[in-house]
Amino acid sequence: MLRPDKRVHKLIISSTSHFIGEYENDDLLITHAWPSLQNRTQISVGLTENPYSRNYFAVVFKIAPSENDKRNQVEFPYYDWFGEFVCIYLSILFGKRFDYHGLIETNGFFFLPDTLRVSSPIRYPNIGVNSHKPRKDLEIELNLSNFKSLEPLLFGKVDRRTVSITNAAGKFYLRSIRLFEIEPELAFLDLVTCGEVLSNYYQYTDEELYDQQLRGQFTEMENKLDNGADICRNVKSRLYQVRRRYALTITRLLNSYFFQNTESLEGFASLKPDDIEKRVKASYDLRSLYVHEGIRIGNWLDPEYFMNEVQVGIPVVESKTLKKLLCLTPTYVGMERIMRFCLLRFLHSNGIPIDSRLEQD
């Protein structure tokens, strides 16, 4: 039987980083897709950190037969989404860029993948998401076999809400990595949105969400107004406190271990625990300034040669508000490291064991 098995699906993904090993179980295989021997240049280019580094992998998965298969009915489910999810999970685990290039075999048919060429070289081959080195925080070896730790996400061993939050937040995280080279402003916005999605998972008390003045006003309404309790509930339901939820979630997911493992080459340019809350709030305010007032951020959040996680100078901009927020907001390097660590800690605390160091308060 030379025709493709309708239940076996194959797709191609790639990364700017170099990986070893492979992952395999009964229903999923992630392994290397090698260039032809006539394309030796592609092999050598993918082995070192450089603007053209690119390595390809095949993802093969098998699904159980459906009822329509048993009845010999025609059914063509669409599995492109699975390729994107594999890229999302790999990017969270390893902190690296992954791109999806399309299916090559599905539903008993062969397909042409999307273009495997990258239109332009990457600007920052040495940055954490593109480099060939493990990320410094957990130092997870760039070995595809480590994908095993994420099996609960794929095989229904955690609750659906955890999976849906991971998928949504991870999608913004991965899109940010892909956009950073060409649209750094939009890449920054996606990182903030990633944190906002994570914040929707958690429930907070009134004491955590509202300041003392606002809580006092709620108490006064409850005591002095007819149906005061109902009025308070209605008001609270409209006060989403998105910024507060975002800041609470991010600062609580970052633990002391996070700050001990900076990727900045200079200590003065790294994130510190004593002002992280101010910096996280500033990142949300900067996003709001861009979205609601159209004030451009430009390239002020790009990393310098020593991979600074915070601004090391004063941005030259006319707006005093923008200048203040740019001084406080982490650079893209800092924001990316923050969001990936939060994603990892979110997974680890929800039934997906990754590393015991994620348990530290």
Token pair for residue 15?
Answer: 């990364």
User: Half-sphere exposure of 104 toward its Cβ, with a 13 Å CA cutoff?
Assistant: 14
First to last CA, the chain: 56
Q: Which residues pair with 31 in a beta bridge?
A: 58
Q: What is the mean pLDDT of each run of 10 residues along the chain (361 residues)?
A: 87 96 95 83 84 94 69 67 95 97 90 74 91 94 96 88 96 96 93 96 79 59 61 52 90 94 86 95 93 84 84 86 92 96 96 89 69
Residue-level pLDDT at 19: 97
Degrees (nearest 5) of the Cα angle 80, 83, 84? 95
Instruction: Indicate the helix (H) or strand (E) that contains 236.
Output: helix 228-238
Token pair for residue 283?
Answer: 């990142």
* pLDDT tens figures, 13-71: 999 999 999 999 999 999 999 887 777 777 788 889 999 999 999 999 998 776 555 54
Residue-level pLDDT at 53: 92
The SS3 of residue 3 is: coil
* Helix extents (H) in 7-154: 40-45, 67-70, 80-94, 151-154
Cβ neighbours of residue 341 under 8 Å, at least 6 residues apart?
137, 253, 254, 258
- Whole-number Å distance between alpha carbons of 278 and 40: 50
Our CA dihedral for 315, 281, 354, 197, rounded to 10 degrees, sits at: -110
